[in-house]
Structure 1
Amino acid sequence: MRSDDTWTIAVGGAGDQQARVFTDANAAAVDQPVGYSAALFGLSTRQGVDELNRLVQEHRAANPGQHIKVVGYSQGAAVVHTWTAENAGTIDNVNSVLIADPKRQGGPDTGTDGLSGQPLGQIAGPPTSGVDQNFGNIPTTSVCTGDVICDSSAPSGWGGYLNGDHGNYSFNADDYADNGNGQWFNGQYRPW
């Protein structure tokens, strides 16, 4: 659902240093992967946020009118989530897509908080730890389906994680709208 005037930047999860989960799904849908160490701790998330910020600023300076879509999966979603919260109010003509976001804040009819809001998630440290919906003026889509990483009370639990529930998403960045703003939780859309 991306238009030709959209530049898409993608951030992979733990162990995915070049966003291969997205480029393997549809390389043409990703203009720029974010390279970062993709280790399981807050320092790695901070590295990803800093690199994402550098790449977005560099691209925006060279292409001031082009729309930017920022997409992240799992720990990469934590990177994009943190970047979005830190840049809300300072950038426009951008949107974020968070797939299996461990920083997802649960609520009525949307399950429980993601892993970052649980005691185990606190071990990672900031900025990975904690949950929120501080997206400000940046349209943000969150996608979570039966996955303990983004919904710690998912019925399938860690067994489902081990059996592939954490990978049951579309990783074709073009499948996500440039202006989406709300959350898809277990197949149901809910506005923020």
Structure 2
Amino acid sequence: MKKLAALVAGLVAAAGGVYVVAAPAATADDCGGTYTIVVGGTGDNDSNAPYWSGNISQRVGYPAQPIGINARQGVNELNRLIRDHRNACPGQHVKAVGFSLGAAVVHTWVTENWQTFDNVNAVLIADPKRAAGPENAGVAGHPAVAPVIGAPLAGADNFFGNVPVLTLCTDDIICNLDARSGVPGYIWGAHGNYNFNVDAYSDDARGQWFNGVFIP
């Protein structure tokens, strides 16, 4: 796993520090249906990469580089946007969807806020903080990677309280260190083999899709 640690360390070095990124402007609150908020992966600073599709209500802006302090900014901004919207639309369901680094941001938000926030669910696509089972944990749980990236990005767990959470991981070393595709798979596109249409995931989805098999 030295190559994996070096890969992540290289990504962190490429980040070149901490950036301040303004959130995309929010539209006037629409309290009908589901409020779907998305958090993009590394490099997707405004969560507006072309892979996203479907009915997206809000995109989270944050410095999307794989280092703990930047992930913390993402968690804080996600929390601000969700709670501001809940104040405006107290009865509307919130669905938070994150990909890769963005999944770690959503993961952390759920862990920190499940006791004080209801009527919400989360979808974690290629979560680097994914807990082991089946197979190995995500890359953030690797002992050589965690000290490099720092909290709250470091570590792997499934501390979601009573919030419905759906996790997706398909032959992807970011969310499964034992993925058969390995580092070459990450480089050549295995990390993007997911459905990014947010409407594909229901408001009460929970469990795991792991290598194409659903595990309740």
* Residue-by-residue CA offset, 1:62-86 (whole Å, 9 max, x unaligned): 0000000000000000000000000
Q: How does 1:154-173 map to 2 (within 5 A)?
A: 154-173=179-198
- 2:38 is aligned with what amino acid? A
Q: How does 1:169-180 map to 2 (within 5 A)?
A: 169-180=194-205
> Is 1:113 aligned to 2:137, yes or no?
yes
Higher radius of gyration, 1 or 2:
2
Match of 1:6 in 2: 34
State the alpha-carbon separation in 1 of the partners of residues 107 and 137 from structure 2. 14
Q: Secondary structure at the match of 2:145?
A: helix
Match of 2:13 in 1: none
**Normalising by the residue count of structure 1, what TM-score does the alignment of the two structures yield?**
0.93
How far 1:119 sits from its partner (Å)? 2.5
> Is 1:19 aligned to 2:43, yes or no?
no
* Structure 1 gap segments, 5+ residues each: none
State the alpha-carbon separation in 2 of the partners of residues 111 and 73 from structure 1. 20
State the alpha-carbon separation in 2 of the partners of residues 104 and 24 from structure 1. 21
- 1:102 is aligned with what amino acid? P
State the alpha-carbon separation in 2 of the partners of residues 129 and 171 from structure 1. 24
State the alpha-carbon separation in 2 of the partners of residues 79 and 176 from structure 1. 18
Q: Secondary structure at the match of 1:56?
A: helix
Match of 2:175 in 1: 150
State the alpha-carbon separation in 1 of the partners of residues 169 and 106 from structure 2. 15
* Residue-by-residue CA offset, 1:27-68 (whole Å, 9 max, x unaligned): x52110000011220001000000000000000000000000
Match of 1:186 in 2: 211
> Is 1:74 aligned to 2:103, yes or no?
no
Higher relative contact order (CA 8 A, sep 6+): 1
Q: Secondary structure at the match of 2:96?
A: strand
How far 1:24 sits from its partner (Å)? 4.8
State the alpha-carbon separation in 2 of the partners of residues 24 and 153 from structure 1. 25
- 1:25 is aligned with what amino acid? W
Q: What is the Cα-based RMSD across aligned positions, in Å?
A: 1.1
* Structure 2 gap segments, 5+ residues each: 1-31
Structure 1 stretches of 4+ with a deviation exceeding 3 A read: none
> Is 1:89 aligned to 2:128, yes or no?
no
- 1:18 is aligned with what amino acid? D
Match of 2:67 in 1: 41
- 2:137 is aligned with what amino acid? D
How far 1:120 sits from its partner (Å)? 3.6
Aligned residues: 184
How far 1:189 sits from its partner (Å)? 1.1
State the alpha-carbon separation in 2 of the partners of residues 42 and 25 from structure 1. 24
- 1:105 is aligned with what amino acid? A
* Residue-by-residue CA offset, 1:138-183 (whole Å, 9 max, x unaligned): 1000000000000010011001111100000011111111101111
Q: Secondary structure at the match of 2:102?
A: helix
